Amino acid sequence: MGLSLIEGFTKSLAMTVLSEIGDKTFFAAAILAMRHPRKLVLAGCLASLIVMTILSASLGWVAPNLISRKWSHHVTTVLFFGFGLWSLWEGFKEESESEELAEVEAKLNADWKAETGSNKGSDDLKKQQRPFLTQFFSPIFLKAFSITFFGEWGDKSQIATIGLASDENPFGVVLGGIIGQALCTTAAVIGGKSLASQISEKMVALSSGILFLVFGVQSFLSAAGES
């Protein structure tokens, strides 16, 4: 139990960090933190990622009860190889290092202009008057939460978390995932655009691709050893 917990934790932590650094939600958190109070952006993004991690791990934990553990293990192995090749392909075809950052920034800029056009001048006063606890249910918190949640939904990191939790200790996967998300999101919020623009999307994609392939080989060999 203890060994499986540690293995699930380390795999989930490594996968989460390499998947989320340079991801769209990472860039979104960095840009949002430049325009809104950092504590609200961080709280919204983290709350969303924690919910997503627990939800994904729960789906992975349930999977072996719906299909045999043998088949869920095979599906997980295929997913790891598939995501590994996908990430490597994305890394090799990546030409502009800031393409994804520019895309996210352009979208948030459009939203920002639409919001400030009607609310200019009154937001800061409202934020100062709002009690501390109710700030965490403010439009800023909800915006950070929703952008992150829907940005992660269906992402390969979410699907990989489901697969990992079906094959490893789900508590270790949740713990590793949450810590990994917290590290990445905190770095994005504190570092802002200056940090985000320094990240090589190409190297992150190649590194995560290699990691997924290593997990795939390990999963394949463990299945071969059991048969």
Q: Report how far residue 154's alpha carbon sits from residue 106's, in angstroms, rounded to the nearest whole number.
A: 22
130 occurs within a structural domain: no
Average of per-residue pLDDT values in the chain: 79
- Distance from first CA to last CA of the chain, Å, rounded? 22
Q: Report how far residue 146's alpha carbon sits from residue 45's, in angstroms, rounded to the nearest whole number.
A: 8
Nearest to 87 by CA among 165, 21, 172, 6: 21
* Six-digit token string for 156: 């390969």
Asked whether the predicted pLDDT for residue 3 surpasses 70, the reply is: yes
Q: Report how far residue 184's alpha carbon sits from residue 179's, in angstroms, rounded to the nearest whole number.
A: 9
216 occurs within a structural domain: yes
| pLDDT one-digit tens code per residue, 35-47 | 888 888 899 999 9
Number of domains forming the structure of the chain:
1
How does residue 131 score in pLDDT terms, banded at 50, 70 and 90?
A: low
pLDDT of residue 69: 73
173 occurs within a structural domain: yes
Element at 45 (helix H, strand E):
helix 38-66
146 occurs within a structural domain: no
pLDDT of residue 124: 46
- Choose the weakest-confidence range: 14-18, 92-96, 128-132, 159-163: 128-132
The boundaries of the domain holding residue 166 are: 27-114+155-226
**Helix axes 24-35 and 139-152, enclosed angle (nearest 10):** 170
pLDDT of residue 125: 44
**141-150 residues labelled b (16+ CB within 10 A) or e (exposed):** bebbbebbbe
Asked whether the predicted pLDDT for residue 22 surpasses 90, the reply is: no
3-state SS assignment for residue 168? coil
91 occurs within a structural domain: yes
